[in-house]
Amino acid sequence: MGENTYRINVLNTGAQFLCRQDEYVLEAMKKSGCGPIHYGCFGGGCGICKMKVISGSYRVDKKMSRAHISPEEETDGFVLTCCIKPTGNLTISQI
Amino acid sequence: MALNGTLRPGLVQLRVLDFDKTLNFYKNILGLNEVCRIGEDRICLKGFDEFDHHSLTLRLADEAGLDFVAFKVASADELEKMKLAVEAFGYPVDTVAEGDQPGFGKRYGFTISTGHRFEIYSEVALAQKGPGIKNPDIWNEPPRGMRAQRMDHFLLYGPNIAEAERFCKEVFGMFVPEVCNTPDGNRLAAWITSSNKPHDLAFVEYPKPGKIHHLGFYLQDWADVGNAADWIALNRLKLDIGPTRHAITRGLSIYFWEPSGNRIEVYAGGYTAYPDNPQRVWDSSELGRGLFYYSGEVIPSFLEIVT
């Protein structure tokens, strides 16, 4: 694991995969084949990849549709995984 | 060719999340031309083979999806008659003043049972850069990217599509070439037209109001559907399904998502619809074959994901 690559744990399934800091979490999840994988538009619009970050740091790199992530939810760690990139190891959860 | 006073769906306003990648998609990948801008947050576009001022307005917003669809009617007289018919059907009507969108006259707006805002208008200026009309060539500038010729149709998701279908027939004078029913006989989907196109719009029954499944643009032929697939792959756009063939409408098709997450279809062919032809009826158990004739199977993302 390089210094710019982080480990992503999926709480519900125990799945783990690696994600580079310049890579969207959903892209890495899809590439790893170890889901849970729900994906649609990859553009932050359709909302199908919504999950919750339980712990760890990340940055929102792309606008997430307010139809799916309210400002309160964003504060509480709800994300569209197609829009976030990790800045540390993450634990995420299906909702 | 329109067969009654409602000519066609002529204007769609779509919400997008950015004017960077998304605008690049509509202009350089789909191949529309930018016509004008309205303030800081709206950009108007048209297909190279469309005569009217513009057909698609993108509005910068915090969420993707549909603001409204607007239908062009045959005359100012028809517009006033239709406004009264909308009110008589039971929908309150508001007025959007002339000039809200460059080139467009007064529009009337209202919300139908599915939660979608519909508008009607009769006056719209011709585009400065439209197709030729005097001994015309096939185009004036080489079409770009997917070579979309014009906006074609949209599929809307919302509740009570039975009422929406009745509205389109009774007020817009449209007809319904094709439907899909559940085993208990309720409407699951309807394909509706005002012209010889197999659909100007379609509905699918869905609990949440006001959703759009896709906006469809017309291509020349099957080879252009393949060309569109190349552009999807080349630009790493997210493919939903295709290239494939619909049994419903008979269209040749490919579906994908633009960078703001709105699903787009590019489409060619389709049968010629006439209002006196018998209606084609699908059982919901056969919908897979109706939608995707080659595989005969529906993929979950196609039915479930809307904006």
CA distance B269 to B271: 7
DSSP-derived secondary structure letter, B223: H
* Cβ B158 vs Cβ B116: under 8 Å: yes
Q: pLDDT tens digits for B96-143?
A: 999 899 999 999 999 999 999 999 999 999 999 999 999 999 999 999
* Cβ B96 vs Cβ B70: under 8 Å: no
CA distance B124 to B108: 14
Helix (H) or strand (E) holding B281: strand B280-283
pLDDT at B291 exceeding the cut of 90: yes
pLDDT at B301 exceeding the cut of 70: yes
> Is B62 within 8 Å of A68 when comparing Cβ atoms?
no
Tell me the mean pLDDT in the region B243-260.
Answer: 98
Confidence of residue A34 (pLDDT cuts 50, 70, 90): confident
pLDDT at A6 exceeding the cut of 90: yes
* Cβ B69 vs Cβ B1: under 8 Å: no
CA distance A57 to A13: 20
> Is B62 within 8 Å of A65 when comparing Cβ atoms?
yes
Tell me the mean pLDDT in the region B275-302.
Answer: 95
Q: Which residues of B touch A39 (CB under 8 A)?
A: 238, 301
How near does any CA of chain B get to the CA of A79, in Å? 14
Tell me the mean pLDDT in the region B241-257.
Answer: 97
Output the pLDDT for position A12. Answer: 85
Quote the mean pLDDT of chain B. Answer: 97
Number of neighbours of residue B55 by Cβ within 10 angstroms: 26
Phi-psi region of B220 (alpha: psi -120 to 50; beta: other; left: phi over 0): alpha
> Is A68 within 8 Å of B63 when comparing Cβ atoms?
yes
SS3 string, B131-164, reads: CCCCCCCCCCCCCCCCCCCEEEEEEEEECCHHHH
- The closest alpha carbon to B15, from A66, A62, A51, A71, belongs to A66
Three-state DSSP class for residue A31:
helix
Q: pLDDT tens digits for B48-94?
A: 999 999 999 999 999 999 999 999 999 999 999 999 999 999 999 99
For residue B274 the two structure tokens come to 């006439």
- The closest alpha carbon to B258, from B118, B58, B97, B119, belongs to B58
Q: pLDDT tens digits for B139-198?
A: 999 999 999 999 999 999 999 999 999 999 999 999 999 999 999 999 999 999 999 999
Tell me the mean pLDDT in the region A56-63.
Answer: 96
> Which candidate from B18, B62, B261 shows the least CB-CB separation from A46?
B261
> Which candidate from A42, A62, A68 shows the least CB-CB separation from B238?
A42
Tell me the mean pLDDT in the region A17-37.
Answer: 90
Output the pLDDT for position A2. Answer: 63
For residue A58 the two structure tokens come to 């990340």
CA distance B283 to A35: 34
Output the pLDDT for position A3. Answer: 72
The residues facing B66 across adjacent strands are B14
Confidence of residue B3 (pLDDT cuts 50, 70, 90): low
Q: For chain B, which domains are there?
A: 6-121 (3.10.180.10), 150-304 (3.10.180.10)
Q: pLDDT tens digits for B25-34?
A: 999 999 999 9
CA distance A9 to B127: 54
Largest CA distance in chain A: 36
User: What's the number of domains chain A is made of?
Assistant: 1
- What is the span of the domain harbouring residue A45? 5-93
Interface test with A, best of B24, B41, B62, B256 (most A CBs within 10 A): B62
Supply the CATH number for residue A81's domain: 3.10.20.30
Q: Which residues contact A14 (CB under 8 A, 6 or more apart)?
A: none
> Which candidate from B240, B261, B304 shows the least CB-CB separation from A43?
B261
